[in-house]
Amino acid sequence: METTIAKNVLILLLVYFTQSSAEHKDLSGQMFTFPVESDTAHVILVPNQSKSLTAVTVCLRFFSDLTRALSLLSFATPAHSNSFILYKQVNSVYEINEYDNIALFKGLEDIPNQWNSVCATWNSQTGIVQLWVNGKPSTRKGIRRSGDISGMPSIILGQEQDSYGGKFDKTQSFVGMITDVHMWDSVLPYPEIALYMNRIPQKTDGNVINWRSLDFTTKGYVIVEDQELVGVLEPQMKNLSGQMFTFPVESDTAHVILVPNQSKSLTAVTVCLRFFSDLTRALSLLSFATPAHPNSFILYKQANSVYEINEYDNIALFKGLEDIPNQWNSVCATWNSQTGIVQLWVNGKPSTRKGIRRSGDISGMPSIILGQEQDSYGGTFDKAQSFVGMITDVHMWDSVLPYPEIALYMNRTPQKTDGNVINWRSLDFSTKGYVIVENQVN
């Protein structure tokens, strides 16, 4: 009899663990849809670890038309239902709640019927919490110091837990879509947050929650769907032939982020663009940064029409080239790591060939920006170096373009090959601040 009971218990345990063993799924390109207001619909996220946390970063994107309060992510433990909550109050006020220590963040974006990208961080050592929404940081605020979040976590999307694992209130429920959820057990450095905001693959996915390897269970009316049904998340490659970026005013905010078609290490570069401006002061034409170095490759114009190529703070200056105000100036810059040679062409005329760093490369996830010069990876702009005017026909190659191809660009004759790093005719970009896409002026 005891043997039979033992066998039955063993069978029940095997069935339980077989049913309970969740499969990790790659949800890239997918989303959770919460179609209706309810006190039942939610998603349980099973963490990849359950150790005590002394720091947290949570990143996610949400799409909703709700103006009332709603829960974005609720992290509870048996000891405390409000261990870590990411919440949006009415009037677009965001909230981080850690063990009932609450920080409120005002003035950040909350755009209805559009994807909003949010990252929240907490550091126990300092007590500092911060938010980033659609690329913009909040004020850094202080809550509980020297504590931790310990106990078996219950992590839920779509509802706010008033008790461990339940007790939901439909007036706090989420209605809309959520995607790209990641959680780390550390404060993610800004360059990695910038990559997330710009939808560029990060070096490391979340080690607590990983959207690309997600253990989850849906409860109630929740659907897993393709993001394509919304049709606005993934940046669209656009053909900007005959168009230009207009930077109307001097600022330390207006810029364009160019997303490269590849992120491999570079041992050679050609950049070509056209600019139209009446500025006589220094200005940045193109800034290429990596996490290791903000000055990985910069095309810059100093005062008095002196052009500059800066590669890892190795600078070559070019004098006597054209810089005609209120007219399109066509510029191509090349760098070859093997020889260290850099050269410029402006309006069809070549510069002297000059030498800088040899045998190096440009490696790391690129941040390529028009309109500003990056003093840190992805930011720290100085309006005294900002571009005012128009820029068009931007291309970048991972090789030194032969002179016949450069001559075609200078003469506005179609080239054999468009840029394979940046291609104006198939451009993935984001404008930030006061930048307009317009038809080219002659």
Question: How big is the CA angle at 296 (ends 306 and 314), to the nearest 5 degrees?
Answer: 55
For residue 4, name the pLDDT band (cuts at 50, 70, 90).
very low
CATH code linked to domain 24-229: 2.60.120.200
Considering only 17-21, 211-215, 316-320, 425-429, which range has the smallest mean pLDDT? 17-21
Whether 12 has a pLDDT exceeding 60, the answer reads no
Whether 397 has a pLDDT exceeding 90, the answer reads yes
Average confidence (pLDDT) over 32-41:
96
Beta strands in 185-328 (DSSP E): 209-210, 216-219, 223-226, 243-247, 255-258, 268-276, 283-290, 293-301, 307-311, 314-318
Local structure of residue 408 (DSSP, 8 states): H
Q: Is 190 helix (H, G, I), strand (E, B) or coil?
A: helix
Average confidence (pLDDT) over 407-420:
86
Considering only 14-28, 360-374, 402-416, which range has the smallest mean pLDDT? 14-28
Distance CA 394, CA 272 (A): 6
pLDDT value, residue 6: 42
pLDDT (tens digit per residue) in 234-287: 455 788 999 999 999 999 999 999 989 877 789 999 999 999 999 989 999 999
Compute and round to an integer the Cα radius of gyration of the chain: 26
For residue 123, name the pLDDT band (cuts at 50, 70, 90).
very high
Distance CA 177, CA 114 (A): 10
Q: How many residues does the chain have?
A: 442
> Do 47 and 183 form a contact (C-beta atoms < 8 A)?
yes
| Closest to 120 (Cα-Cα) out of 59, 177, 70, 170 | 59
Distance CA 301, CA 188 (A): 34
> Do 87 and 129 form a contact (C-beta atoms < 8 A)?
no
Which residues on adjacent β-strands are paired with residue 96?
Answer: 86, 103
Whether 15 has a pLDDT exceeding 80, the answer reads no
- Give me the percent of the chain exceeding a pLDDT of 90: 68
pLDDT (tens digit per residue) in 349-391: 999 999 988 878 888 878 899 999 999 888 899 999 999 999 9
> Do 169 and 175 form a contact (C-beta atoms < 8 A)?
no
| Closest to 314 (Cα-Cα) out of 290, 303, 302, 298 | 298
Whether 18 has a pLDDT exceeding 70, the answer reads no
**Location of each CATH 2.60.120.200 domain in the chain:** 24-229, 243-439
pLDDT value, residue 368: 93
pLDDT (tens digit per residue) in 321-356: 999 999 999 999 999 999 999 999 999 999 999 998
> Do 154 and 75 form a contact (C-beta atoms < 8 A)?
yes
| Closest to 376 (Cα-Cα) out of 367, 386, 363, 389 | 367
pLDDT value, residue 183: 97
- Give me the percent of the chain exceeding a pLDDT of 70: 92
pLDDT (tens digit per residue) in 49-95: 888 999 999 999 999 999 999 999 999 999 898 999 999 999 889 99
Distance CA 261, CA 247 (A): 24
Task: State how beta strands 436-439 and 30-34 pair.
Answer: unpaired
Local structure of residue 236 (DSSP, 8 states): P
Q: What is the dihedral of CA 11, 13, 18, 22, to 10 degrees?
A: 170
pLDDT (tens digit per residue) in 164-191: 998 999 999 999 999 999 999 999 988 8
Whether 405 has a pLDDT exceeding 80, the answer reads yes
pLDDT value, residue 236: 56
pLDDT (tens digit per residue) in 98-113: 999 999 999 999 989 9
CATH code linked to domain 243-439: 2.60.120.200
- Three-state SS letters, 361-404: CECCCCEEEECCCCCECCECCCHHHCCCEEEEEEEEECCCCCHH
Instruction: Return phi, psi of residue 404, to 5°.
Output: -55, -35
* Structure-model confidence comparison of residues 20 and 132, the more confident one: 132
What is the C-alpha end-to-end distance of the chain, expressed in Å? 94
Please, what is the average pLDDT of the chain? Answer: 89
pLDDT value, residue 19: 37
pLDDT value, residue 5: 36
- pTM for the predicted model, two decimal places: 0.56
pLDDT (tens digit per residue) in 190-234: 888 988 887 777 677 899 999 999 999 999 999 999 987 775 544
Q: Which residues contact 289 (CB under 8 A, 6 or more apart)?
A: 295, 296, 366, 367, 368, 369, 374, 376, 377, 378
Distance CA 86, CA 96 (A): 5
For residue 10, name the pLDDT band (cuts at 50, 70, 90).
very low
> Do 37 and 223 form a contact (C-beta atoms < 8 A)?
no
